[in-house]
């Protein structure tokens, strides 16, 4: 039916999805296997409109099941299963395999596992069976129009770095943006629609150029990135231009630079110096639900510009590219500390002091990541435009406190870097795997006021998780300066200093009962972390699917305006994702309207 070598495998994997000939109820999306699903003629017509053959995404482990993928390379799967770059290159792979699986109503889990000795069948699970490998804006438009015309559940996937399940959808139609790799650099950028006679200050990077009777305003160096560009690629490219770009940090830079990261806000180790990702956006390009290709900035589609800066991925349209403000390259220093806790009282003492330190570090432009357990702590912080001596001066009081509290069971070190790529290549390559195993997350934003007024309470709550907790100091400083209502980003992000995150993990192929048990553990961890907040605010890109009130946790007071903007640009909710704007108006599978 589709032009792809895995047609037979597709049939094998998806046969169990739905009853043959089942129709889609009214007000429901049409899913694969139902009688409403587009026929061969319809897909043939779509194929003529796009630049690449249609794809049939399958779970990555399917290559290890000869009956479903006779030509697959199982050895490559086993070698790369926990490699984020490899996973990003597989249309059916999510960075967390938990979202490749699907739980039936009876609690049974369908999936496809790399461990073939489990004796479980290889099934399609939650991976959409058909899709478009978009290489051009025209491909995106054709896919969107096709999905809308045929009432399909549209799933937008980039690198698969998603912990709310937004990149997967059982029986859906995938739009894979991973190969939209366009990139360009403009030393002097003017947003489309900007009036040349109007003086406009843009992030303090404005240049005035008087070359005619009209005053022409230029923005200093911008980087234009297609939605398939990953941060590792973006860093290399922008560095070649002699500039720095604020972005996400993950092993090998696998996170998409122009996808869910930026649409959810985009935090970074350098946010206290340069703001959040959304503070550095100059312009979006996107395809709307009606197939129209639009420019979104401070002068065109301004309400959508407000919404897309923090309103969440896969919600208002298909993001095809982002133009970012860039910054001069800078040297910086790193402070690293590890310590072991011999007793609970030592852990409480050190962590309380660490929490108290957060606002000060943010004010000084420091950011970093910390991993905490009841047995110890590992800290890595950086700050631009300082040397080792200044780093020592900033951190030595805290380091001395830790050395004294732990009776010397601590180590501290300082390192200087000439530029960001040097740091990235040392810290974010060759580390232990971060992906390729089933996991789900929960998190809460630690506000400045809580860190200052109740550090002991915060420390107590973190230790009560009784497991590894990540404390990512990715806010405060410059990211706290903009007006909280200037864009859709949760207002509490502007008041935060640290994102505190916990997780659960389970063995591949676990039963539904085991997975549900871990989900209940995750819910309890959320309740514990809620003690460090006053409003249950969370960064929606690193959060839980099981929030009691996702509107409050992910969007706060901005939700009503977001809902109104979505109604304007996507009245039929073609773009609907788990815990996204208007998702509560659909059933739990986002298939039927309530």
Domains and CATH numbers, the chain: 7-176 (3.30.43.10), 183-328 (3.30.465.10), 332-418+436-554 (3.40.462.20)
pTM over 0.85: yes
Neighbours of 530 (CB within 10 A): 17
Query: What pLDDT shows up at residue 67?
Result: 74
In sequence order, the β-bridge partners of residue 175 are 132, 156
Query: What pLDDT shows up at residue 184?
Result: 93
DSSP 94-108: -SSGGGG-EE-TTS-
Angle between helices 344-363 and 455-464 (to 10 degrees): 120
* Order of strands across the sheet that contains 173-176: 130-133, 173-176, 154-157
Q: Which H helix or E strand runs over 60?
A: none
| pLDDT tens figures, 174-204 | 999 999 999 999 888 889 898 866 534 443 3
Q: pLDDT below 50 — which residues of the chain?
A: 1-21, 199-220
Query: What pLDDT shows up at residue 515?
Result: 97
Query: What pLDDT shows up at residue 10?
Result: 40
Residues constituting the chain: 594
Query: What pLDDT shows up at residue 4?
Result: 36
Q: Is 62 exposed, middle or buried (0-12, 13-18, 19+ CB in 10 A)?
A: buried
In the chain, % helix, strand, coil (3-state, to 5) comes to: 35, 20, 45
| pLDDT tens figures, 320-363 | 999 999 999 999 999 999 999 999 999 999 999 999 999 999 99
Query: What pLDDT shows up at residue 222?
Result: 86
Q: Nearest 10 degrees: CA dihedral of 104, 107, 112, 113?
A: 170
Query: What pLDDT shows up at residue 143?
Result: 98
Q: Which H helix or E strand runs over 381?
A: strand 376-384
Query: What pLDDT shows up at residue 414?
Result: 96
In sequence order, the β-bridge partners of residue 413 are 336
Query: What pLDDT shows up at residue 309?
Result: 98
């Amino acid at each position: 039916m589709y032009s792809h070598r895995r047609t037979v495998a597709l049939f094998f994997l998806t046969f169990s999805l739905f009853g043959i000939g089942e129709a889609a109820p009214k007000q429901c999306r049409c899913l694969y296997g139902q009688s409403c699903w587009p026929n061969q003629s319809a897909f043939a017509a779509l194929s003529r409109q796009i630049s690449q053959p249609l794809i049939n995404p399958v779970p990555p482990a399917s290559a290890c099941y000869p009956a479903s993928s006779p030509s697959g390379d199982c050895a490559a799967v086993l070698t790369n299963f926990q490699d984020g770059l490899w996973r990003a290159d597989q249309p059916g792979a999510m960075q967390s395999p938990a979202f490749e699986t699907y739980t039936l109503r009876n609690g049974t889990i369908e999936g496809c596992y790399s461990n073939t000795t489990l004796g479980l069948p290889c099934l399609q699970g939650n991976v959409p069976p058909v899709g478009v490998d978009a290489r051009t804006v025209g491909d995106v438009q054709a896919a969107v129009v096709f999905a809308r015309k045929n009432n399909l559940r549209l799933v937008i996937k980039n690198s698969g770095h998603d912990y709310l399940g937004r990149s997967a959808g059982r029986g859906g139609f995938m739009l894979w943006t991973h190969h939209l790799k366009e990139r360009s650099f403009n030393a002097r950028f003017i947003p489309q629609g900007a009036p040349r006679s109007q003086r406009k200050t843009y992030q303090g990077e404005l240049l005035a150029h008087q070359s005619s009777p009209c005053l022409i305003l230029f923005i200093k160096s911008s980087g234009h990135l297609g939605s398939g560009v990953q941060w590792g690629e973006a860093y290399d490219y922008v560095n070649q231009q002699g500039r720095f770009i604020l972005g996400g940090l993950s092993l090998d830079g696998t996170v998409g630079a122009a996808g869910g990261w930026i649409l959810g806000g985009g935090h970074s180790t350098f946010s206290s110096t340069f703001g959040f990702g959304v503070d550095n956006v100059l312009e979006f390009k996107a395809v709307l639900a009606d197939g129209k290709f639009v420019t979104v900035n401070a002068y065109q589609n301004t309400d959508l510009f407000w919404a897309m800066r923090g309103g969440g991925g896969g919600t208002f349209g298909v993001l095809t590219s982002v133009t970012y403000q860039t910054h001069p390259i800078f040297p910086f220093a790193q402070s690293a500390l590890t310590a072991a806790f011999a007793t609970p009282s030592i852990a409480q003492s050190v962590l309380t002091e660490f929490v108290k330190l957060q606002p000060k570090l943010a004010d000084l432009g420091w950011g970093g990541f910390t991993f905490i357990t009841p047995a110890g702590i590992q800290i890595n912080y950086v700050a631009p435009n300082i040397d080792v001596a200044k780093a020592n001066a900033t951190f030595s009081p805290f380091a001395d406190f830790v050395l004294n509290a732990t009776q010397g069971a601590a180590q501290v070190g300082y390192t200087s870097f000439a530029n960001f790529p040097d740091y990235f290549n040392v810290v974010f390559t060759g580390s232990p795997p971060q992906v390729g195993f089933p996991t789900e997350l929960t998190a809460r934003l630690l506000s400045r006021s809580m860190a200052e007024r109740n550090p002991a309470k915060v420390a107590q709550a973190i230790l009560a998780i009784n497991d590894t907790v990540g404390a990512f100091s990715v806010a405060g400083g410059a990211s706290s300066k903009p007006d909280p209502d200037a864009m859709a980003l949760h207002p509490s992000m502007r008041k935060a200093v640290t994102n505190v995150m916990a997780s659960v993990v389970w063995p591949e192929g676990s039963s539904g009962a085991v997975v549900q048990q871990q989900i209940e553990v995750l819910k309890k961890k959320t309740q514990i972390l809620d003690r460090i907040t006053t409003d249950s605010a969370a960064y929606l890109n690193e959060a839980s699917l099981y929030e009691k009130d996702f509107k409050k946790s992910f969007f706060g007071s901005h939700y009503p305006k977001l809902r109104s903007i979505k109604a304007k640009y996507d009245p039929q909710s073609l773009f609907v994702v788990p815990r996204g704007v208007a998702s509560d108006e659909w059933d739990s599978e986002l298939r039927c309207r309530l």
